[in-house]
Structure 1
């Protein structure tokens, strides 16, 4: 019986070749790395530490040599640091270094051990000379002054100079010998890596060539038919039944092709049946492939359900149509009622606007009472919570910028309350100082709104800046709740602060408003305002205009005529706001003295 050369066997043959070559490379790499590891351990664990410690011993001898020279020549006992260091080298550092080198030398050759012992012997002899003949003799300032003692120390010192040079030569010779050993081990390790590199390169070329051959074979015998199957399945995934068919062959690809051909034929029959059913032909004929064909039986059930649903939907459409017509009529009636109600409310608000405008002084009165001034007034809604108030009593001219709680209709009601109370104070009392007027205004607002400091607090009230000018003496009096007064004099803006409590109920101990008197000069420019201008959002980033920018604008326009100031402030605010919504009522009063 002929052997069937399946896809698995084809792929197994190709990958088997790769595995054999890879195992050869792996085994050779492991052997080379183990040898390199052994040689590296020799360098790292034995040779390198030995060389490093020998160099440390060399440095230690140099330090002792330097310190013994200082001991011999430096007669001062004020500097004892080098003396203590020399004693520490002889007593502590050298024995520790010797102990460490003796431990490392256990793996050295016999010749290297002999050289090390000779060096130790000479070093210890040298250190005995240091201790007995130099340190022991020159142990005080008086010893340095005694010529006999100093001469007795000189001869050993000169002999030690010769001895330490001999020790240096022996020690450097031993260091050089150990370094040559390290280089030899390193060269052997590099030779192993070079061989491994050459072998891996050759094996890599072999793998590439073999891989190309195997890939070419696999592409022709496996990949190409798979690509055809993939193309057909992707087409079916997009809902398009392919026209081509898979050719018969003796492996798994051939079996999949036969199954796919049968599936396409079944899908064509199913598509035809679905189109007929979708077109409303519920008597279309369709035969399942077998009794286990779940899709075929599901299609037949779907056809019957669709037929029943169509009849049910026709009944529901008729019922819903009647309901929609009835609801549409009701909505139209409600819309008409809402339009009437909206018109009534809007007409009422417009009438309230006329009432509010009637209490505000007209331009002719402003020019008469407060000459050389302007009022920039821009309500957010139809009616405003901000209002301006101008009156004259005897030889005093009063004017105020008032910001009531809220805006729109609620703010407008508060503005009527504030205006009427101010009017009553000026007309029916003898009070003339702005601070006293604000005290009475606060009492009037509290009484009118029936609020107190007990229980739930009402936040209704107003912020205000109230000024009083005597044009004969150019004396200005002002009092303010929260909103300050700006005066621009000689190009410099001066801020006069307000009291930090409002016209209304204030939690805490009741305080009187402060009355401030300012002697004006000709050319001074006064500004009263609410917070609407500075709080307006806009600009390239949609941020607030801010108080700082507002001050800069006022300083800039203060030298202009009042009409030009009005136009410039209005255009600046409009340009900043752009297409954004106005966030609050805007009120700015400017008076040039």
Structure 2
């Protein structure tokens, strides 16, 4: 639960603009069900409305819980579950503790509540009620993102007051990825170092039966704005990987691009049906220019292959029988930016993995850091030289060497950006 002192600080200094953008501005009228509805009826409703992420369960117009599409469908897909549950009450698959908010709640307070409740609410949405607690409809994370994008500049001071709590939240989002890495890799390192307390660099790892999906993400900006962008990207990535898109990193990038451009109003047409993109934009012309540079990787552990798609983020690798550092070059378009077309297609590149091969990814915070006697960028050549010299050492030892070299090179120069760097030995 969010610390009450932080909430009270966040309320200080809110202007009239918060009165205009409240929870009801996110309201989507969605048909609810009651405890008398069976799971078979819920299945039919979800099939008839593929746009529904969740369905509210209400009784006497009071919300009781939330049925999430993914949880429900996965549960009903198990052997014999249709026979067991089809005619039973839908509350069997209901989340009994969803986030329920009043329609007049400010966007600032709603944002803290959603962040405090974790990734579940960003993915599944929340229930909106009237002043009597009666069900009105649902809100979702993507619509919240659009509003927060607009309010970000006006409320920067208020977000900054909660920066320490935001740091805790961001680190908690990374925990599951660290756990997945530890489960699928033996010799690896992951170095995540925001320039400020929180940052715009993010990493993601998810284990599957046939392999694991890995992403290194560099969002627009750093500090609080960058950190909020990472939460957006993490939520979108979770949704994308619920399908079979993990086997197609380039296709996943294309879906991510459309989601980001739509959510942040970085398109010429209206951002979404029934939603005015210009109203929530961060620029006067109706467009923000936010997005990410990233590398998406699918590692198939069954046939020992790595499929890579890069958006301005290269992949470095060293074969088991060679000390030469080689690169898989990325596409030169980032994800979500105004100059990236809505229908842009990234390219998959496949790499055959052999035992002992080393794979490295880094955001540009390391490569672009100014330092040294000539006060120039650290650069890919210097980075590759370090890898070539030390790749036979254990990965944690390589991490220490690379980062100490980086700190020495930076010297007294100002840190330019967040740094995120990873390596693993197959």
Please state which band the TM-score falls in when normalised by the shorter chain.
0.5 to 0.7
Mapped partners of 2:156, 2:305: distance in 1: 51
Q: Out of 391, 414, 418, which is 2:206 matched to?
A: 391
Deviation of residue 391 (structure 1)?
A: 0.6
Instruction: Report SS of the residue matched to 1:498.
Output: coil
Which of 497, 503, 519 lines up with 2:329 in the alignment? 497
Offset of residue 469 of structure 1: 0.8
Q: Which of the pair has the greater relative contact order for Cα pairs under 8 Å at 6+ separation?
A: 2
Instruction: Give the 5 Å matches for 1:70-85.
Output: none
CA deviation string 1:300-321 (max 9, x = no partner): xxxxxxxxxxxxxxxxxxxxxx
Q: Could you list the per-position Cα deviations for residues 24-45 of structure 1 after superposition, in whole angstroms to 9, with x for gaps in the alignment?
A: xxxxxxxxxxxxxxxxxxxxxx
How does 1:96-495 map onto structure 2 within 5 Å? Answer: 347-361=161-175, 363-427=178-242, 429-432=243-246, 433-453=248-268, 457-489=287-319, 490-495=322-327
State the TM-score, normalizing by the size of structure 2. Answer: 0.56
Alignment partner of 1:570: what SS? helix
Contact 1:475 1:519 in 2 (8 A): yes
Report the counterpart of residue 171 of structure 1 in structure 2. Answer: none
Decide whether the 8 Å contact of 1:370 with 1:397 is kept in 2. Answer: no
Match of 1:531 in 2: 364
SS of structure 2 residue aligned to 1:533:
helix
| Ranges in structure 2 where 5+ consecutive residues have no aligned partner | 1-11, 14-154, 270-284
* Structure 2 counterpart of 1:543: 376
Post-superposition offset of 1:496? 0.7
- TM-score normalized with structure 1 length: 0.41
C-alpha separation in 1, matches of 2:213 and 2:161: 33
The aligned counterpart of 2:70 is none
Task: Give the superposed CA RMSD.
Answer: 2.4
Structure having the higher strand fraction is: 2
- What is the distance in 2 between the residues matched to 1:347 and 1:457? 27
Q: State the shift of 1:347 in Å.
A: 4.9
Instruction: Quote the Cα distance in structure 2 between the aligned partners of 1:369 and 1:508.
Output: 34
Hey, what's the Cα distance between the residues in 1 that align with 2:409 and 2:268?
41
**What CA distance in whole angstroms lies between the structure 2 residues aligned with 1:408 and 1:342?**
11
> Structure 1 pair 487/537, CA: closer, same or farther in 2 (3 Å)?
same
User: How far apart, CA to CA, are the structure 2 residues paired with 1:384 and 1:358?
Assistant: 14
Q: Any unmatched runs of 5+ in structure 1?
A: 1-336
Would you tell me which structure has more helix in proportion to its own residues? Answer: 1
Deviations, residues 309-366 of structure 1 (Å, cap 9, x unaligned): xxxxxxxxxxxxxxxxxxxxxxxxxxxx99xx99976550011111111111364442
Q: Is the Cα contact below 8 Å between 1:461 and 1:504 reproduced in 2?
A: yes
Number of residue pairs aligned between Structure 1 and Structure 2: 254
In 2, Cα distance between equivalents of 1:444 and 1:384:
21
1:36 corresponds in structure 2 to none
Q: Determine helix, strand or coil for the equivalent of 2:196.
A: coil
Provide Cα deviations, 1:245-268, integer angstroms capped at 9, x if missing partner. xxxxxxxxxxxxxxxxxxxxxxxx
CA distance in 2, matches of 1:501, 1:381: 26
Sort the Cα spacing of 1:353 and 1:508 in 2 relative to 1 into closer, same or farther, 3 A: closer
